[in-house]
Amino acid sequence: GDSVTQMEGPVTLSEEAFLTINCTYTATGYPSLFWYVQYPGEGLQLLLKATKADDKGSNKGFEATYRKETTSFHLEKGSVQVSDSAVYFCALSETGFQKLVFGTGTRLLVSP
């Protein structure tokens, strides 16, 4: 079945550092890929998405590129802020289905 693998956390960074959170996937078809963020005590918020190969999703300084050849969708940000501290989830959904398959989540801690 479909699956998503994320790097283990927590990822601990200083403010203004560069962020990369790795995400790879296994899917039978051509899925859409998503990054969601969860702040403490809240639900999930969509951060960005990409629906086909070579698409780049971007939002609030975060970027991720859909790489079909490496089945990856790594999340990057050039300069993190303390307010970016949260749990980040990579997810996929197959064409025609609304079922999201999530990775285990990566906790990001940014210190001043």
Partner 1 sequence: KAGVTQTPRYLIKTRGQQVTLSCSPISGHRSVSWYQQTPGQGLQFLFEYFSETQRNKGNFPGRFSGRQFSNSRSEMNVSTLELGDSALYLCASSYGLAGADTQYFGPGTRLTVL
Which member of 49, 73, 74, 106 binds partner 1 (CB under 8 A)? 49
Q: Take residue 32 and report the two structure tokens written for it.
A: 């859409």
Check binding of 53 to partner 1 (CB under 8 A). Answer: no
Residue 10: cis peptide before it, omega within 30 degrees of 0: yes
Tell me the site size for partner 1, rule CB under 8 A: 26
Residue 89-108 contact track with partner 1, rule CB under 8 A, x = bound: x-x-xxxxxxxxxxxxx---
Angle subtended at Cα 87 by Cα 84 and Cα 92, rounded to the nearest 5 degrees: 115
Measured from the CB of residue 103, what is the shortest distance to partner 1 in angstroms? 8
CA distances from 36 to 19, 69, 90, 112 (A): 16, 23, 6, 24
Q: How far, in Å, CA of 78 to CA of 90, rounded? A: 19
Which member of 45, 81, 83, 111 binds partner 1 (CB under 8 A)? 45
Check binding of 57 to partner 1 (CB under 8 A). Answer: no
Site residues (vs partner 1, CB under 8 A) = 31-32, 34, 36, 42-46, 49, 51, 89, 91, 93-105
